[in-house]
Every structure is written in structure tokens, then in C-alpha cells.
Amino acid sequence: MSAIAIFEHTDYKQVIRQMLSQKGEWGEISRLAAAAGCQRSYLSKVINAHIHLTPDHGAGLCRYWGFDSQQSEYFLALLELARCASRTYRDYLEQKLARLRAQWEEASKRQGRTQVLTGEREALYYSSWQWTAIHIAVSIPELQTVSALSRRLQIPEPLVESVLFSLERMGLIRREAHRWKYSSPQLHVPADSPWVSLHHGNWRQRAVQDALQGPGTGALHYTNVQSMTEQAFMSIKGLFLKTIEEAVKIAGPAKEDELVTVNCDVFKV
């Protein structure tokens, strides 16, 4: 089971069932029982009835599955939550699980992105979608001049030139003759940054502008409000995280021909 699949679950027994389904239940349940240090019949009852494993059993399963420390911590917290009788301790465990999920999601989104801006540079860079657009656009050979950027992004040339010089001072781009070149790893705005909401808002406003142009742009705009279970919500969020990971893998080695933005929102109202 992938790390993302672990963090989709809100019940440790769901994790066990999924691990069994991946390898085939026949014979595997005996191996899981041996790894946990319990009888096969007891593990079967755990899966199908209202009894629970102990933390010691859970630790044995984590070792058998090859979970890393973060996955193990999440699985054992799920196990403790299922066994918990105290409302106070339950609240603590739910907060811990939410924190572990958030840490994993942040790490997933940061894949391949190694540089983080700070201070005044961060405030400038995330003040408008135009900064990000110009920064990434100069990685495309056809968009490495002020005039080309102005035409493509519909931004006045003086503003384009001002942003370019600022990006150069930040060390994010470089000038070669009369062209501007991309010279930095892709940036990441941390989830705890005071500018993250502005960054999201900038590009969602830009997405609305694109949607108003109609279907002729070839873009995809999708909004759907639904009611569902907590488990369904977690599974859908996990699906989008997998998609983000795959998108990074596809985009990384791809030739720089088009300037593209990907916005993703999955949240509870």
C-alpha cells in the first residue's frame, strides 16, 4: 500500500482489509497474525467484530508491512483512537491524526520543489499572479522577451520589465543578451506562510477570468458540491494528492512549450 493510501484511512481496520485485498486473503491473514503476535482466529475477529488489536500487535504489523516512522505513527494513532474511551484523549488523537495527514499532504505537494522565498521577496512574489506567470514563462524560449511576455500575458510592457528586473535581483531568472532565462528550481509556498491564501486567491481569480472566455480555450474548469461520508472525503483528497504527484512526474521532464496552471481544491464547507 502506498503512503498516500495509508493517510486516506480513518479506521485502522480499513488499512488491514486493504492490505489483505492487495495480497489475497488466503494465507496472508495467517502471516499477519504471526507478525502481530496473535492467533489467526483473533485477528479474524478483530477484522469482522468489535474487538481491537493492542498497540503491540499494531507495531508488529507496521514492521511486517515495512511502514516508515510517519506511516507507523499514523496507523498506531488510528488503532489507539479505535480503543479510546476518553473524550479528552480522543480529541488529542484526532488532532494528532489531522496533523500527520497535513504533514504528508504538504510533503506531497513539495515534491520536486526545493526553494522557498522569505521576507520581502516572498511578499513581492506572491502579491500577484503576474509574478509567478512571468517567472515560469521565461522557461519557454518563445516568451523570453519583454514584448513577447506582454502580448502573451496581456500585461503592459513597463510592468513586465519591472517584474523581470526584480526577479533577477531575487536570483530567480538571469539576463542573457536581450533574452531572459529561467534559472531557479520551482518555488514552493509553505502551508503556514501568511502569503499562501493570497497565492491561491490570485490564481483562482485568474482561473475565473479564463472560464469567462468560454470553452474555446481548451481549459478544464470543474466545480461540484456534494454530500458524502468522511471516509469518502479522505479517499477523494488522497486521489487528488496522487494526481498531483503524477502531474509533477509528467511535467518535470516535459519540454517547456506552454504556460499552464493547475489549481486544486477539495475541502469541507
pLDDT of residue 81: 94
pLDDT of residue 91: 93
Q: Is residue 54 part of a domain?
A: yes
How confident is residue 120, by pLDDT bands cut at 50, 70 and 90?
confident
Note whether 250 and 134 are within 8 A (CB).
Answer: no
Note whether 146 and 158 are within 8 A (CB).
Answer: no
Q: Is residue 89 part of a domain?
A: yes
Is the pLDDT at 211 greater than 70, yes or no? yes
Is the pTM above the cut of 0.75?
no
Q: Is residue 152 part of a domain?
A: no
How confident is residue 107, by pLDDT bands cut at 50, 70 and 90?
low
Q: How many domains is the chain partitioned into structurally?
A: 1
CA–CA dist 59, 161 (Å, integer)? 58
- pLDDT tens track for 239-261: 888 888 888 788 877 788 888 88
Q: Distances from the Cα of 170 to the Cαs of 73, 116, 175, 208, in angstroms? A: 39, 12, 13, 30
How confident is residue 142, by pLDDT bands cut at 50, 70 and 90?
very high
Q: Quote the percentage of the chain above a pLDDT of 90.
A: 41
Which residue range forms the structural domain that includes residue 42?
Answer: 3-109
Q: Is residue 210 part of a domain?
A: no
Mean pLDDT within 150-171: 93
How confident is residue 108, by pLDDT bands cut at 50, 70 and 90?
low
How confident is residue 59, by pLDDT bands cut at 50, 70 and 90?
very high
Beta-strand ranges (E) seen in the chain are 173-176, 179-182
pLDDT of residue 199: 87
**Residue from 249, 260, 225 nearest 143 by CA:** 260
Q: Is residue 190 part of a domain?
A: no
Is the pLDDT at 111 greater than 60, yes or no? no
Q: Is residue 30 part of a domain?
A: yes
Q: Is residue 38 part of a domain?
A: yes
- pLDDT tens track for 167-206: 998 888 999 988 999 887 667 676 777 888 888 899 999 8
pLDDT of residue 186: 66
pLDDT of residue 3: 59
DSSP per position, 151-195: HHHT--HHHHHHHHHHHHHTTSEEEETTEEEE-SPPB---TT-TT
Q: Is residue 83 part of a domain?
A: yes
pLDDT of residue 151: 95
